[in-house]
């Protein structure tokens, strides 16, 4: 899945790859040409990524090479212990979680799992969780509360799974329950939107004290395609809908829906996985350390006020 707006960049990258292959074994051959191409690639990627349209950002956020939760687990966590099951019906793989250590901070990590290979995609339903996933997440968060561990939640989902059985087992209730419980959880909650923040499926594990977003992640009440097909009566008008919906990190920061943007290297997280993950790690650690200093009661009150203030315009009686 190449991004069409990356075409000039991909051309140069392909050329670099060719030269590297041709010159393999020889250190000097093509060296200057490659250096020059790399400089050019950097400059072009900066230019492209500075001017991404919202719809292009959506495509970047969905890029298959973007770091996924398993990459974060491998690269910025140690001592990860995955925990399974909702103690009621099953073990959903669309949301996974467990104990993790991030920069010496012990946390409960939860997040959507999209999977890399086709088999993984199918097993975890492309990150579209079932009610069991939300209920497992809640169980783990309550455990974190009891063990006084902060919760770190990584958001990356097209949305909660719209299936027959998901409805039967209470997709709506499972998400709603999490929203209520997370608002009162007596431990810090750090949310990082790393890829797609897809509607109810995203916010179902997205209530917290710090809401952080990778630069090219998106967060939206409905997919641009869905919005376009309803309000434009034409799914292909998704680029228009993406723009109208204000789904990008800069817009969300202005709207105070998020607290901080983690910049991505030029060319996007899919080009610089390690660098991106390291930045995510540092930001998580910073927020955990800040939030741990806040007394639980105050933390919960501030969390409440944070969400209560969203969509409050002008002075209201309270």
Partner 1 sequence: MAWFKKSKNNIAEEKPELWNICPSCKAHIFKEEWAAGLKVCPKCNYHDRLTYQERIDLLLDDGSFKEINAEVSTNDPINFIDAKGSYAKKAAATKKKINMNEAVVTGCGNINDIPVVVAIMDFRFMGGSLGSGTGEKILLAAEYALRNKRPYIIFSASGGARMHEGIISLMQMAKTCAAIARLNKAGVPYFSVLTHPTTGGVSASFATIGDLNIAEPGALIGFAGRRVIEETIKQKLPADFQTAEYLLEHGFLDKIVARKDMKDFFAQLLPYAIKSPKRRR
Residues that bind a copy of itself (CB under 8 A): 87-89, 135, 169-170, 173, 177
DSSP-based three-state secondary structure for 75: helix
Q: Which does 293 bind (CB under 5 to 8 A by kind): a copy of itself, partner 1, none?
A: none
122 class by beta-carbon count within 10 Å (0-12 exposed, 13-18 middle, 19+ buried): exposed
Residue of 14, 2, 16, 38 whose CA lies nearest to 266? 38
Q: What angle do CA 37, 42, 47 make, to 5 degrees?
A: 125
Residue 19 or 143: the one with the smaller Cβ distance to partner 1 is: 143
Q: What is the dihedral of CA 315, 202, 171, 70, to 10 degrees?
A: -160
Shortest Cβ distance from residue 208 to a copy of itself (Å)? Answer: 24
CB 163, min distance to a copy of itself, A: 15
Two structure tokens written together for 223:
């997919």
Q: How far is Cα 125 from Cα 137, in angstroms, rounded to an integer?
A: 16
In SS3 terms, 267-298 reads as CCHHHCHHHHHHHHHHHHHHHHHHHCCCCHHH
Q: Which is nearer to partner 1, 39 or 254 (CB)?
A: 254
- Which is nearest to 209 in space by CA: 185, 188, 184? 188
Closest distance to partner 1 from the beta carbon of 77 (Å): 12
Give the shortest CB-42-to-partner 1 separation in angstroms. Answer: 32
Closest CA to 193 of 274, 128, 258: 258
Directed axis angle between helix 69-76 and helix 273-291, to 10°? 80
The angle at the Cα of 304, spanning 154 to 312, to the nearest 5 degrees, equals: 100
Q: To the nearest whole angstrom, how small is the minimum distance from the Cβ of residue 115 to partner 1?
A: 17
- When the beta carbons of 214 and 266 are compared against partner 1, the nearer one is 214
Output the smallest distance, CB 89 to a copy of itself, in A.
6
* CA 176 vs CA 17, 267, 274, 304: distances in Å: 49, 37, 35, 16
Nearer to partner 1, 56 or 171 (CB): 171
Please report how close the Cβ of residue 161 comes to a copy of itself at its closest, in angstroms: 17
Pick 233 or 298: Cβ nearer partner 1: 233
Length of the chain: 318
Q: Which two tokens stand for residue 264?
A: 């991505």
Residue 79 contact among partner 1, a copy of itself, none, beta carbon within 5 to 8 Å by kind: partner 1
Among partner 1, a copy of itself, none, partner that 179 touches (CB below 5 to 8 angstroms by kind): partner 1
Nearest CB to a copy of itself, comparing residues 165 and 234: 165
Of 173 and 275, which has the nearer Cβ to a copy of itself? 173
Sole residue written with tokens 């019906």: 89
């Amino acid at each position: 899945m190449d991004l069409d707006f990356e075409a000039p960049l991909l051309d140069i990258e392909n050329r670099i790859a060719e030269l590297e292959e041709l010159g393999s074994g020889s250190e000097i051959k093509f060296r200057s040409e490659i250096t020059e191409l790399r400089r050019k690639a950097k400059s072009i990627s900066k230019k492209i990524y500075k001017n991404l349209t919202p719809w292009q950002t959506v495509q970047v956020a969905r890029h298959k090479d973007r770091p996924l939760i398993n990459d974060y687990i491998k690269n910025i966590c140690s001592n990860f212990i995955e925990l399974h099951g909702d103690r009621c019906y099953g073990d959903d793989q669309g949301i996974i979680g467990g104990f993790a250590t991030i920069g010496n901070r012990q946390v409960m990590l939860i997040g959507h799992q999209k999977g890399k290979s086709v088999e993984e995609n199918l097993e975890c339903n492309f990150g579209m969780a079932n009610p069991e996933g939300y209920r497992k997440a809640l169980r783990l968060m309550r455990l974190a509360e009891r063990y006084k561990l902060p919760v770190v939640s990584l958001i990356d989902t097209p949305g909660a799974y719209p299936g027959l059985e998901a409805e039967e087992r209470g997709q709506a209730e499972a998400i709603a329950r999490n929203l209520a419980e997370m608002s009162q959880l007596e431990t810090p909650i750090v949310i990082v939107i790393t890829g797609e923040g897809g509607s109810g499926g995203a916010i179902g594990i997205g209530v917290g004290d710090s809401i952080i977003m990778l630069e090219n992640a998106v967060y939206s009440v409905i997919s641009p395609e869905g919005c376009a097909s309803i309000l434009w009566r034409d799914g292909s008008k998704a680029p228009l809908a993406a723009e109208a919906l204000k789904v990008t990190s800069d817009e969300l920061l202005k709207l105070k829906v998020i607290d901080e943007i983690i910049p991505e290297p030029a060319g996007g997280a899919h080009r610089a996985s390690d660098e991106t993950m390291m930045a995510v790690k540092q930001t998580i650690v910073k927020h955990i350390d800040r939030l741990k200093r806040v007394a639980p009661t105050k933390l919960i009150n501030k969390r409440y006020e944070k969400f209560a203030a969203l969509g409050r315009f002008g002075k209201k009686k309270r």
